[in-house]
């Protein structure tokens, strides 16, 4: 009995210790993305080969520019389009240089590069050995997903998607690919089963969908740029198809499409979502807009009236990061706002900052 009691206590202790360990390790595993900092992708001025990567260290509250060059002694290439951190490796897509540079996300050292990509755009990690890179094709029309063997950094397969395969979203084993048209037009999202690399569904959206997010209720949201048309005075208001924000239900069909009010040069893009999955953000008409996922109409007032080249939502704290590319011929900046729209700080980045990558 007593022994039993001791045994029980010991077992409990053991369990609690194990639990403690477990809770420790599980809390380790769920360290919030972006806790240590994030990367800023500086696209550079097109053709000048001056793209770069900056790193924001959260503890030091400071940005270090040109980390790729400083660590590796060479420049990144021409037109860095995006970066994704996956399993602590940074996949930097350098579109006009037709390559992906892979770095160690902690010390920025080069691990290798993926070539054989005509016009790559974005990366999404599938497993430790597999990744997807969306690609526009040299003509800007032939959009594909390049399946990458992450151990050898080679292309193993090409999946045809649509014109201008762009940003992707992975939900379980499904990858949603927005076809933003590239140099042409498209109005679809292709859904790929990443276990078979086969297309399992096609979702029709507004013209030229460019970015996609999942909300807390499992709905998908898509920002579409529309189709611009010009006449002698500028934008042809009649022929232009305005951009939109679409809500897609779990059955892969459009629930509704909210069309923006104006035909403008900057169309809806850079759709982002708060870490709790309840608030959407997008850029449109020289401003950032904020919208609850419960909304059924587009916001009429801007969250921040300032034109940003790119925008990212800090997955650690929900801050809104506007990337200001200024004139693409000198260092740009990032402005960091809290979710209420207060400007918290501004940091100098590299030339043409277009987005962030969280590790």
Partner 1 sequence: MLTNLKIIVFGLCVFASISSRAQQKDSARLLKEVIIEQSRLSSYAISQYVLPVDSMTRALASGGSLADMLRKFGYGHIRSYGPGGLATASLRGTGSSHTAVLWNGINLVSPLNGSLDLSLVPVSFIDDVSIQSGGAASLYGNGSIGGTIQLNNKASFNEGLKLKTFTNAGSFGGFFQDAGASWSGKKFITSTNVFYTAAKNDFEFINRNYYPAREESRQHTGYEQKGILQQNYWQLTARNLIHLKFWYQDNLYEAPNSSFVPRTSEATEQNKYFRTLLGWSHSKNNFDFSYQGAFIRHNLDYRDPVLSLVSPSTFNTFINNVEANFSFKKDVSLTTGTNYTWETGKVADYGSDIPVRNRIALVSAFKLKPGTRWEVSTSFREELINGSLTPFAPAITAKLQVSSAFQTYVNASRNYRIPTFNDLYWKGAGGLGNPDLKTEVSVGGETGFTFNTTAGNKHSAFSFKGAVFSNHVDNWIQWIPMTSSVWSPENIKNVWSRGLETQAAINKQVNKINFELSAHYSFTQSTNESIYENINNNELGKQLMFTPTHQGSASVRATWKGFNLNIINNYIGKQYTDSDNTEINAMKAYDIVSMWLSKAFSINHLKAVLSGELNNVLDTEYQSRPGYPMPGRNFKIGLTLNFNKPNSL
For partner 1, which stretch binds (CB under 8 A), given 108-116, 143-151, 207-215, 237-245?
A: 108-116
Nearer to partner 1, 37 or 353 (CB): 353
Examine residue 346 and tell whether it contacts partner 1 (CB under 8 A): no
Q: Is 98 in the site for partner 1 (CB under 8 A)?
A: yes
Residue 88 within binding range of partner 1, rule CB under 8 A: no
Residue among 199, 331, 336, 347 that touches partner 1 (CB under 8 A): 331
Q: Which residues are CB-neighbours of 232 under 8 A, at least 6 positions away?
A: none
Instruction: Spell out, one character per residue from 260 to 299, where the chain touches partner 1: x when CB under 8 A holds, - when not.
Output: ----xxx--x-------------x--x-------------
Count residues binding partner 1 (CB under 8 A). Answer: 52
To which H or E segment does residue 27 belong?
helix 2-29
SS3 72: helix
Q: Give 275's contacts (C-beta < 8 A, 6+ positions apart).
A: 32, 313, 315, 316, 317, 318
Report the residue from 149, 295, 324, 347 that binds partner 1 according to the rule CB under 8 A.
324
- The residues, any chain, with a CB within 8 Å of residue 122's CB and separated by 6 or more, are 81, 82, 84, 93, 133, 134, 166, 167, 168
- Tell me the C-alpha distance between 251 and 273, whole Å: 21
Q: Which residues contact 23 (CB under 8 A, 6 or more apart)?
A: none
**Residue 155 interacts with partner 1 (CB under 8 A)?**
no
Residue 289 · residue 269 · CB < 8 Å: no
Whether 205 contacts 257, CB under 8 Å: yes
Write out the binding residues for partner 1, residues 184-223 only, by CB under 8 A. Answer: none
Instruction: Count CB-CB contacts under 10 A for residue 295.
Output: 14
Q: Binding segment for partner 1 among 28-36, 110-118, 156-164, 291-299 (CB under 8 A)?
A: 110-118
The residues that touch partner 1, with contacts defined as CB under 8 A, are 45, 47-50, 52, 66, 69, 72, 74-75, 77-78, 96-99, 110, 113, 115, 118, 138-140, 183, 228, 230-232, 234, 264-266, 269, 283, 286, 307-310, 324-333, 348, 351
């Amino acid at each position: 009995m007593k022994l039993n009691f001791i045994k029980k206590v010991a077992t409990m202790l053991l369990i609690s210790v194990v639990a403690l360990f477990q809770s420790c390790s599980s809390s380790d595993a769920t360290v919030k993305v972006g806790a240590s900092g994030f990367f800023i992708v500086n696209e550079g001025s097109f053709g000048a080969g001056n793209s770069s990567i900056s790193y924001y260290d959260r503890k030091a509250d400071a940005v270090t520019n040109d980390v790729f060059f400083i660590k590796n002694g060479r420049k990144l290439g021409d037109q860095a389009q995006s970066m994704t951190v996956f399993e602590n490796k940074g996949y930097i897509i350098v579109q006009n240089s037709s390559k992906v540079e892979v770095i160690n996300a902690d010390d920025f050292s080069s691990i290798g590069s993926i070539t054989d990509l005509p016009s790559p755009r974005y990366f999404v990690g599938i497993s430790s050995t597999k990744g997807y890179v969306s690609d526009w094709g040299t003509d800007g029309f032939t959009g594909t997903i390049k399946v990458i063997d992450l151990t050898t950094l080679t292309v193993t397969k090409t999946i045809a998607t649509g014109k201008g395969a762009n940003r992707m979203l992975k939900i379980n084993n499904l990858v949603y690919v927005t076809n933003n048209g590239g140099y042409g037009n498209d109005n679809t999202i292709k859904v790929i089963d990443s276990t078979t690399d086969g297309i399992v569904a096609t979702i029709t959206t507004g013209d030229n969908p460019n970015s996609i997010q999942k909300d807390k209720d499992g709905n998908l949201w898509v920002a579409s740029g529309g189709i611009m048309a010009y006449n002698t005075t500028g934008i042809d208001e009649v022929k232009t198809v305005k951009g939109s924000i679409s809500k897609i239900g779990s059955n892969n069909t459009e629930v509704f499409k909210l069309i923006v009010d104006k035909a403008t040069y900057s169309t809806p893009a850079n759709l982002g979502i708060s870490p709790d999955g309840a608030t959407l953000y997008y850029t449109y008409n020289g401003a950032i807009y904020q919208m609850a996922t419960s909304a059924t109409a587009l916001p009429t007032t801007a969250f921040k009236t300032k034109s940003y080249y790119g925008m990212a939502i800090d997955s650690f704290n929900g801050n809104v990061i506007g990337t200001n590319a200024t004139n693409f011929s000198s260092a740009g900046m990032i402005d960091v706002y809290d979710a209420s729209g207060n400007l918290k700080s501004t940091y100098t980045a590299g030339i043409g900052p277009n987005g962030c990558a969280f590790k």
